[in-house]
């Protein structure tokens, strides 16, 4: 089972993907369009042209996971614009959960992923 944890890096491809592609085709997109190594453990998120389905690709050290969600009604309303670096936009894990439920991750309010600890002298 694929579990997305807060420590995982999530990268969303800006351009739609051809959903006839399988693991090898999407891994090639990671290298060529996103300029990322698909073997790093990053969760890559792709959307089809009609915005009715998303695919997640992740490597867990033993092999690839390929997960797909297709909405029975409606479309994914939010998707990052082309202003992202190298064709992709980074999301936090809680933002991915919102996206997979058809919501807008940019409006999601989550706790900060990291904050410095301050120590006080006794």
Q: What is the pLDDT of residues 13-31, one digit of tens each?
A: 999 999 999 999 999 999 9
Residue 119 vs residue 65, higher pLDDT:
65
Query: Which residues, in sequence order, are bridge partners of residue 89?
Result: 12
**Exposed (0-12), middle (13-18) or buried (19+): which is 69, by Cβ within 10 Å?**
middle
Check whether 115 has a pLDDT greater than 70. no
- What pLDDT shows up at residue 82? 63
Taking the CA atoms of 63, 53, 78 and 82 in sequence, report the sign of the dihedral they define.
positive
CA distance linking residue 113 with residue 18, whole number of Å: 33
CA distance linking residue 39 with residue 87, whole number of Å: 18
Contacts for 113-119: CB closer than 8 Å, 24+ residues apart: 113/6
* Residues 69/54, Cβ–Cβ less than 8 Å: yes
Instruction: Take residue 8 and report the two structure tokens written for it.
Output: 């995982």
Check whether 65 has a pLDDT greater than 90. yes
């Amino acid at each position: 089972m694929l579990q997305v944890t807060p420590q995982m890096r999530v990268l969303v491809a800006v351009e739609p993907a051809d959903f006839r592609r399988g693991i090898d085709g999407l891994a090639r997109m990671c290298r060529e369009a996103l300029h990322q190594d698909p073997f790093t453990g990053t969760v890559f998120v792709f959307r089809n042209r009609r915005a009715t389905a998303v695919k997640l690709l992740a490597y867990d050290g033993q092999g690839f996971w390929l997960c797909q969600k297709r909405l029975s009604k409606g479309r994914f309303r939010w998707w990052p614009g082309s202003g992202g670096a190298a064709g992709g936009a980074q999301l936090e894990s809680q933002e991915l959960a919102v996206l997979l439920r058809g919501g807008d991750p940019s409006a999601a309010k989550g706790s900060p992923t990291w904050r410095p600890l301050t120590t006080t002298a006794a």
